Amino acid sequence: MIVGISPWARKYVGIPFAKRGRGFDGVDCYGLHWLIEKTEAGNELPLLDYAFEPRDVRGISRLFAGEMPLWHKLDAPKDRCVVMLLTGGVPSHVAVVCGDGLIIHADDDAGRVICERLAAPAWPESRIEGFYAFEGGA
């Protein structure tokens, strides 16, 4: 068991990575956020059906930029908010806060949803673009 993880988040850890996935049988990074909002809060986020590969950071960044008006930026992280992460200086990956200093995200290298510390070496502060809550959610 992961110490400090929010109880609601445990059921998402281990879900397989699946490009364009939006269910417990598989998710990508946005799909995980989509599934959490739907399951935990009943919020219907846009599906964001896209043709980008998981590592097409520029294409994904443009997609996120077009949808960001649906979210509001937070001054500090809170449970179930989204962390927008930078790759190559552009927003291209999302994770979800799931406890004090913890995030869950769909990691295509690991092949599944994992939980890790936001302060892990993979996520230096310079890679954090910001924390967001879906309008009407989080």
pTM of the full structure: 0.86
- What CATH code is carried by the domain that includes residue 95? 3.90.1720.10
Burial class (CB in 10 A: 0-12, 13-18, 19+), 16: middle
Answer yes or no: is pLDDT of 107 > 90: yes
pLDDT tens digit sequence for 117-132 = 998 888 888 999 889 8
pLDDT of residue 57: 57
Phi, psi of 5 (to 5 degrees): -70, 140
CB 136 within 8 A of CB 79: no
Does residue 81 fall inside a structural domain? Answer: yes
CA torsion, ordered 29, 23, 14, 100, to nearest 10 deg: 60
pLDDT of residue 75: 92
The total of other beta-carbon atoms located within 10 Å of residue 6's CB is 18
Task: Count up the domains in the chain and report the number.
Answer: 1
SS3 53: coil
Amino acid at 70: L
* Structural domain that includes position 128: 7-134
pLDDT tens digit sequence for 32-78 = 999 999 999 998 877 766 555 656 655 665 666 655 557 788 999 99
Does residue 1 fall inside a structural domain? Answer: no
44 contact partners, CB below 8 Å, separation of at least 6: 37, 38
H or E element: which one contains 65?
A: helix 57-67
